Structure 1
């Protein structure tokens, strides 16, 4: 009887020990796991695996998702969801200084602007972007910041934009680009066409979509807002002087035309009134002669002015 009780107590102790061990193991495993949640402007790539097993893509964690449990050794990579910009205005927080172009007549000009786009966050495409480009540049976000993202844009946005601006500018002369709205509009259209082509060629796929892309459907085209090219200050000053000279020439031509009209008028007066009559008429018109009407048959006394 005592042996049975002793055996029962032993089994109970073993059971409790196993239960405690299981709880400890579960707690250790749970503590090795991590949780992620996403903001409305964030999407996460979840990769499973670790030291003792291959790392494989698991899933995308969409924007505004609640807490998602990651396994031990799993990794999460955060990327921006929604509209982003590449600013090449040279402002304090801009990604780049203004870009330099050369016109058809070999004038170097500076161009500033902003490219507005959305990262293609269709899950399979985003995975490809991450594995091909994101990992190389560390373009994913860590604690809300990413210097790698800026470096990546310097290669995959700035370089093709610079190439497109330069190629388009070679088709126009600098005066038109600087001073002709129609020429500038044609230039902007051409820049847009080339930029979209070169950006896609550089990246190797449509990783950058239009500003209204929402993660599915048509990718669309990036939007460009570019200022008119700025030539060197010396050329701007020369152009202003040239325009001022042209304006003066026009004004002088108008003055000359007025003089010619007056001469023709005088010739006509001479034909009708004779030379003396024409001179008198001009004097009367200028107020140099006072005309006093005298009734017929009335005497007239004229007192010359005293000197």
Structure 2
């Protein structure tokens, strides 16, 4: 009997321990779920459009911020951890417009010609941001962060992007155009297509050199750059330099005067030809004969044929 009671006590004690273990497991599971809930509450999701690339940086308040990965265009929803940060950059062709239009990034660029005439040049630079992951990260950490050139919300614009373009495109373009324009006179830049073509080629050569020097690396590539291989060159489209309106008007007046001089010279040449013709007539017919010939040519004198019998009948003209 005593053995049976001890066994019963033992059995009862084992059941209570099992309940306590189950309770501990349940409490642990609840704590884990709550912790997971708090963790998920600090998470976020990002997805990319076809024309953007996102840089993902992990870390935040309690740990060092470190680069995690690039999220390519047209990627589905990606989970970011608590405190993680994403930076959006454009993928594909972009343009720096310096035409001065309402939605352009800049006004036309001023240049000074070889003969010290200030002119205005409008145009655009078409390029692709180098989105090779390693290069884009370098661009972001060296330039993007400084200017705030990124977008924190997918699809939104950034005023820092325009500031960055003005520094890395307008200033090198300004330098390139000024340097190239010092080689040509304003009249030829404005009026001579062959000279304008030479100037455009020189501007393109210098602009690409200065843009790369200013940026420090191949961050700005050709419009057709696909992310790998040769970066290529930025494509420039520039209009004919425009001098001040006063010079344009003066040039138009000068051209009009030249045209009038040419016309007068042609009229003078015609008069000289006629005088030479009259001299020849006088030499052949004499003064009176020349006058009569001229009158006949002008229809002032009527010539009447004389019949063989010599009888001439003259009827007065009816007026």
Shorter-chain-normalised TM-score: which range?
over 0.9
Describe the SS at the equivalent of 1:243. Answer: helix
- 5+ unaligned residues in a row in structure 1: which ranges? none
Is 1:35 the counterpart of 2:45 in the alignment?
A: yes
Describe the SS at the equivalent of 2:96. Answer: strand
Aligned with residue 157 of structure 2, among 131, 135, 145: 145
CA distance in 2, matches of 1:107, 1:182: 20
Describe the SS at the equivalent of 2:183. Answer: coil
Range 295-304 or range 159-168, more displaced: 295-304
CA distance in 2, matches of 1:294, 1:62: 107
The answer to whether the 8 A contact 2:48-2:54 is kept is: yes
Alignment RMSD: 1.7
What's 2:90 paired with?
80
CA distance in 2, matches of 1:158, 1:305: 85
Measured after TM superposition, the shift of residue 72 of structure 1 is 2.1
What's 2:284 paired with?
272
Range 49-58 or range 220-229, more displaced: 49-58
The alignment's TM-score, normalised by the length of structure 2, stands at: 0.92
CA distance in 2, matches of 1:226, 1:66: 40
What's 1:196 paired with?
208
CA distance in 2, matches of 1:178, 1:291: 61
Measured after TM superposition, the shift of residue 132 of structure 1 is 0.4
What's 1:97 paired with?
107
The answer to whether the 8 A contact 2:98-2:108 is kept is: yes
- 5+ unaligned residues in a row in structure 2: which ranges? 1-10
Aligned with residue 300 of structure 2, among 267, 283, 288: 288
What's 2:261 paired with?
249
What's 1:185 paired with?
197
Describe the SS at the equivalent of 1:289. Answer: coil
Measured after TM superposition, the shift of residue 102 of structure 1 is 0.5
CA distance in 1, matches of 2:197, 2:164: 30
Measured after TM superposition, the shift of residue 77 of structure 1 is 0.7
CA distance in 2, matches of 1:2, 1:294: 167
Aligned with residue 70 of structure 1, among 77, 80, 88: 80
Q: Deviations over 1:92-132 (max 9, x none)?
A: 11111111110000001111111111111111111111010
CA distance in 2, matches of 1:85, 1:92: 15
Is 1:21 the counterpart of 2:31 in the alignment?
A: yes
Is 1:165 the counterpart of 2:206 in the alignment?
A: no
Describe the SS at the equivalent of 1:214. Answer: coil
CA distance in 1, matches of 2:29, 2:227: 47
**Which ranges of 4 or more aligned residues in structure 1 deviate by more than 3 Å?**
301-307
Describe the SS at the equivalent of 1:105. Answer: coil
CA distance in 2, matches of 1:164, 1:42: 30
CA distance in 2, matches of 1:139, 1:239: 45
CA distance in 2, matches of 1:259, 1:97: 55
Range 160-169 or range 261-270, more displaced: 261-270
CA distance in 1, matches of 2:146, 2:87: 13
Describe the SS at the equivalent of 1:246. Answer: helix
Range 240-249 or range 260-269, more displaced: 260-269
Measured after TM superposition, the shift of residue 186 of structure 1 is 0.9
Is 1:174 the counterpart of 2:221 in the alignment?
A: no
CA distance in 2, matches of 1:16, 1:251: 108
1:306 to 1:52, Cα distance in 2 relative to 1, 3 A = closer
- Equivalent pairs counted in the alignment come to 307
Measured after TM superposition, the shift of residue 306 of structure 1 is 11
Is 1:209 the counterpart of 2:241 in the alignment?
A: no
Aligned with residue 10 of structure 1, among 17, 20, 40: 20
